[in-house]
A and B are shown apart, each in its own frame.
Chain A
């Protein structure tokens, strides 16, 4: 029993934070000196094929992040979900752009689990090293492939089918520019070659999508943490009415509520990882005690709970951050917009709150049915 990250995972998160901070480009809004995007980063994001993602991926590859979910025989670390969420929280903390949950979690899980060694060997080493970026379409959570302009491999996943298409955006797909997050979304390659299908694939797809949603939740928690840190720093520094605005209760209580939301989203994130890594663990023998919780760990239910809570906490942090920063936070020049935009995009991606709440209730109903209550 240990829900907290291991010492090794905590060290990994700290070193990742340090490296991303030192790299500057993705430093959190807590580091005022490197708050703003570097010159050129933004224009590249809007006009070119690389919105800073490919260079980011190279850096993440060197840090051992892109290979976390890739099996060791394909050049990765074969790490558990717990390591992924710890890393993804730091990527969110620094608002690292790109299809993080797709390329670092879900696609590696799909390609490694699809049963086609040739497909796995074709794509996984590149994903592990960070040379290659993947994106994913998986309706209804992911009706569009995010950051398709940077992806070297596009995957389409249905409940029991996986299609893979190499190269850039496939012909016939609809391309739209999502200006706020400076990414390109595209309809996925629904007509791309099928690499695996059948009922045996269903648990692989389900696990991969759960892993992706959980990594997305971890990014949101990190984004929320960064925005709270930035808001506290700004509220301590900004002087009005003869003192810092952070002395006012209206500001203090709003930021305290953000802290509470983040504090209690985190345990659900970790429980989601525990559910994916140890799905057979059972905390409650429900049959002995029908009054207690319906069941032990349930990946679908627990990942959905984490996504709802982390998205809500990040949303609360985003709204508070913009309000506390006032007009300066509303400018393009100020870096806060990157955290705001990424929060908005990720909150609606990988399943909306409504979709995940529905799944929680579906799973809870199953638990009650199984108990005959």
Chain B
């Protein structure tokens, strides 16, 4: 039990910290889901990529530097500690890329990953449908075999970043079997037959969108894994979406630090002290769990429940410290609204508790979940 960084890790941490200190824009970029904001965030991704910091744990030939997983955690902490911009590439970088590296062909990796790392291709996810939310295996959007590939038809929804993205990835029904009839495909959001309709969220931003597909052609080389094997492919890397890959500890460590400073500056109310302490302790636990997870696996479902609840607790406590002035504090309020989505997306926390109880603890499967 030793948290000392080896010289190489400390050197990397210092390099990232130094680069971020010199390069993070002094003024926040425009909103990521607006056209101007998307362009600015793509440019930011390109600069990260030029510095070799876009995806440090990827193989070098795809735009990474083959760094050990610890370095990705350290980078995440430095990134959030420096209040750097939201990663417009996050769906691709943290969700699609691990799937491709595990199940994709080397041709797919070589074609898809480098432009993803440079911010040249921005990816949206296309999982949910109007009738397939928590019950993801109820997907109805179809992939029909045609010459040289597949024809996609149907409707996807809650597709994060779809309003500004170039391409999307998701599951489509290629036969009637509930789980084994699904195929994992990548498709072009600018292709003929695709219509994207942004959805305004609770927080006012068009962070997600509906995608309508009408006979959209996808070539065979954009199928990940075998046709019909999409559920297994998706689930084998679903942990990335739920767990530490999607939400590193940096966001919560930085937020907890801000909360403690806020309470020390404002905090005459001793009644809130224990809540501030508990919120900080939770963020610290998540950070230490990230380090522990390098040597001891933590169930992704437990991770997802914990980070989402920690995020809400941190922000709710800050709002309470601010009291009625919170409504005039744009940062904490926006952070709170963002945090509120966390217990819903990437599989609701109720779905995660079911997975944890049944697959983690070995309780019997209920007919309704799993």
Contact = CB atoms under 8 A, between A and B. Distances in A.
Interface of A: 1-5, 80-82, 85, 228, 232, 235-236, 243-244, 246-249, 251-253, 255-257, 259-260, 263-268, 270-271, 273-274, 277-278, 281, 283, 288-289, 291-294, 296-297, 305, 308-309, 353-354, 357-358, 360-361, 364-365, 368, 373
A317 to B, nearest CB: 12
Interface of B is mostly: helix
Interface string B252-277: 01101110110110000000011011
A308 B363 contact: no
B362 interface: yes
B246 interface: no
Given A1-B4, A4-B295, A274-B1, A268 B281 contact: yes
A1 B2 contact: yes
B68 to A, nearest CB: 10
Contact of A267 (B6, B288, B301, B364): B288
Given A235-B363, A259-B361, 13 more contacts: A1-B4, A2-B1, A248-B366, A251-B363, A253-B354, A256-B360, A256-B361, A266-B292, A288-B17, A305-B284, A309-B285, A354-B274, A360-B280
Contacts of B21: 288-289
Instruction: Name the interface size band of chain B.
Output: 35 or more
12 contacts: A85-B1, A244-B364, A252-B361, A256-B360, A267-B292, A277-B2, A292-B254, A293-B253, A293-B257, A308-B278, A361-B277, A364-B264
A2 B295 contact: yes
B357 interface: yes
Given A1-B6, A259-B360, A252 B81 contact: no
Contacts of A289: 17, 21, 78, 81-82
B364 A271 contact: no
Contacts of B295: 2-4
B4 A247 contact: no
Pick the most buried of B82, B83, B263, B305: most chain A CB atoms within 10 A of its CB.
Answer: B305
Given A293-B287, A361-B273, A368-B260, A260 B356 contact: yes
Contact of B284 (A244, A263, A268): A268
Nearest to A85: B1
Nearest to B6: A1
A246 B368 CA distance: 14
Interface of B: 1-6, 9, 17, 21, 70, 77-78, 81-83, 253-254, 256-258, 260-261, 263-264, 273-274, 276-278, 280-282, 284-289, 291-292, 294-296, 298-299, 301-302, 305-306, 350, 352-354, 356-358, 360-366, 368-369
Contact of A263 (B278, B302, B354): B302
Contact of B3 (A3, A81, A264, A309): A3
Pick the most buried of A309, A364, A368: most chain B CB atoms within 10 A of its CB.
Answer: A364
A179 B261 CA distance: 45
B274 A357 contact: yes
B362 A236 contact: yes
B288 A256 contact: no
A368 B263 CA distance: 11
Nearest to A292: B81
Contacts of A364: 260, 264, 280
A277 B1 contact: yes
B340 to A, nearest CB: 19
Nearest to A283: B3
B285 A368 contact: no
A365 B276 CA distance: 12
A244 B361 CA distance: 14
A256 B352 CA distance: 9
Contacts of A248: 366
Contact of A247 (B82, B281, B365): B365
Nearest to B288: A267
Contacts of B360: 256, 259
Contacts of B362: 232, 236
B92 to A, nearest CB: 27
Contacts of A1: 2-6, 9, 70, 291, 294
Contacts of B83: 291
Contacts of B17: 288-289
Nearest to A253: B353
Contact of A368 (B264, B277, B288, B305): B264
B1 A5 contact: yes
Nearest to A231: B361
Given A252-B357, A255-B363, A292 B77 contact: yes
Contacts of A274: 1-3
Contacts of B278: 308, 357
A308 B356 contact: no
